């Protein structure tokens, strides 16, 4: 997919929700989707950071986005329903979701990880993508062609020592994607896939690999052909796949 060359208007007339859009991979994905014609619903916890991405999209002359802040660690069913309603009322439709927001605590042995840390990681990394997809289901089903992308982690796909609750939450997210894809088999216009970004320069990577040489990390832009392929119409027949980028 790295050799995929999307046309400039690949996402024209589509509305795409990007969670964790204020920085890192989410920010680049939001800017890239907008540059290819999408109207982007920007989700994040930091309102000021979201507004910067919003202004950047507008300054580049792309479709006016929407900024919808929400703290996923504290969100309730009512909050997720309200987010879906905000997308419908402001943008009128929804054709895709990139679940990018994530939370990682310190890497440590299981005996040193707390219930509170596990709760935060499970709520943000696993429960939020489930709840948000569920809340947006009605909108996705009315789309002619809808795509949902879940962002995984290599240590969730292949568990390793010290990754604890983060790996478990991401392993659960992979299972969630596969279950959702299987349940959507009767809806050919709906699809779910997942991406393992690998060593990409991001706030999460800096937290888990503080001593890693920056030169060994790929910029988020390098992954955009993969994300564009999976979120756009060219992957219409692809569902249930885990793409190791």
The secondary element (H helix, E strand) that includes residue 52 is helix 47-59
The rounded distance, in Å, linking the Cα atoms of 242 and 48 is 33
Distance between CA atoms of residues 177 and 194, nearest Å: 7
Residues 6+ apart with CB under 8 A from 80: 131, 132, 134, 135
Radius of gyration of the chain (CA): 17
Structure tokens belonging to residue 194: 């997942």
Q: Where are the alpha helices (DSSP H) in 92-219?
A: 115-122, 128-142, 154-157, 164-183, 203-208
- Token duo for residue 211: 């001593």
Query: Nearest-CA neighbor of 17 among 83, 103, 102?
Result: 83
CA-to-CA distance for 213 and 220, rounded, in angstroms? Answer: 16
Is 166 among the catalytic positions? Answer: yes
Closest listed residue to residue 90, CA positions, set 133, 132, 39, 55: 39
Which of 54, 166, 227, 229 is an active site residue?
A: 166
Name the residues annotated as catalytic: 166
């Amino acid at each position: 997919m790295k050799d995929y060359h999307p046309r400039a208007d690949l996402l024209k007339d589509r509305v795409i929700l990007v969670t964790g859009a204020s920085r890192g991979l989410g920010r680049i994905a939001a800017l890239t989707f907008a540059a290819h014609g999408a109207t982007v619903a920007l989700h994040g916890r930091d309102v000021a950071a979201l507004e910067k991405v919003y202004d950047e999209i507008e300054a580049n002359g792309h479709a006016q986005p929407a900024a919808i802040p929400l703290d996923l660690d504290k969100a309730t069913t009512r909050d997720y329903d309200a987010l879906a309603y905000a997308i419908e009322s402001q943008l009128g439709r929804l054709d895709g979701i990139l679940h990018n927001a994530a939370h990682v605590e310190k890497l440590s042995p299981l005996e040193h990880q707390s219930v509170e840390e596990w709760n935060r990681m499970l709520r943000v990394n696993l429960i939020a993508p489930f709840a948000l997809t569920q809340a947006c289901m009605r909108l996705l089903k009315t789309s002619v062609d809808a795509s949902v992308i879940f962002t995984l982690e290599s240590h969730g796909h292949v568990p390793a020592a010290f990754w604890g609750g983060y790996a478990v939450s991401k392993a659960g997210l992979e299972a969630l994607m596969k279950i959702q894809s299987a349940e959507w088999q009767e809806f050919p216009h709906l699809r779910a896939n997942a991406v393992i970004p690998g060593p990409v320069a991001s706030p999460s990577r800096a937290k888990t690999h503080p001593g890693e040489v920056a030169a060994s990390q790929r910029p988020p832009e390098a992954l955009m052909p993969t994300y564009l392929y999976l979120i756009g119409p060219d992957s219409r027949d692809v569902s249930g796949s885990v793409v190791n980028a």
